[in-house]
Structure 1
Amino acid sequence: MKVNKSIGCTVNECKYHAKNESFCSLDHINVVKHTNRATNPEATDCGSFETE
C-alpha cells in the first residue's frame, strides 16, 4: 500500500488508512459538510471514507 504523506489520517477503520503510519493511501480525498454552511470542524468529514 502506498502512503500519501500529504494526507494525515488516524482513522484505522478506513480501508484507505496506511496501517503502519498515520496517513491516507489515496491520491486525494473528498471533504464533505453536514450543514448548509460549515462553521466548525465538526460540520465536515472525509467523504472518501470506506469501512475496511
Structure 2
Amino acid sequence: MNFVNECIKCTVDQCKHHAQSQNYCSLNSIMVGTHENNPTMDQCTDCKSFEVK
C-alpha cells in the first residue's frame, strides 16, 4: 500500500484500507455513521468505509 493518510488514524488492521505496518487509513476520507437511533457513546458509532481484507 503506497498511500498513508496521516490525518486518519486507525488500528483496525482487518480493514482493506488499513495502512498495513502503520496505524493509519489509506483512504482520502472516511464516512462515519451509527447503528443506533440515538447515539450517546463512542461505541455507537461506526466507520462506514470499513471493508474486510
TM-score (norm 1): 0.94
CA distance, structure 2, for counterparts of residue 35 and residue 11 of structure 1 = 21
The equivalent of 1:5 in structure 2 is 6
- Same amino acid, percent of matched pairs: 46
Computed over aligned residues only, the root mean square deviation of the Cα atoms, in angstroms, reads 0.7
User: How far is 1:35 from its partner?
Assistant: 1.0
Unmatched 5+ stretches in structure 1:
none
User: How far is 1:27 from its partner?
Assistant: 0.4
CA distance, structure 1, for counterparts of residue 29 and residue 37 of structure 2 = 23
- Structure 1 segments of 4 or more deviating over 6 A? none
* 2:45 is the alignment partner of 1:51: no
**1:1-52 aligned within 5 A:** 1-52=2-53
User: How far is 1:18 from its partner?
Assistant: 0.2
TM-score (norm 2): 0.92
Unmatched 5+ stretches in structure 2:
none
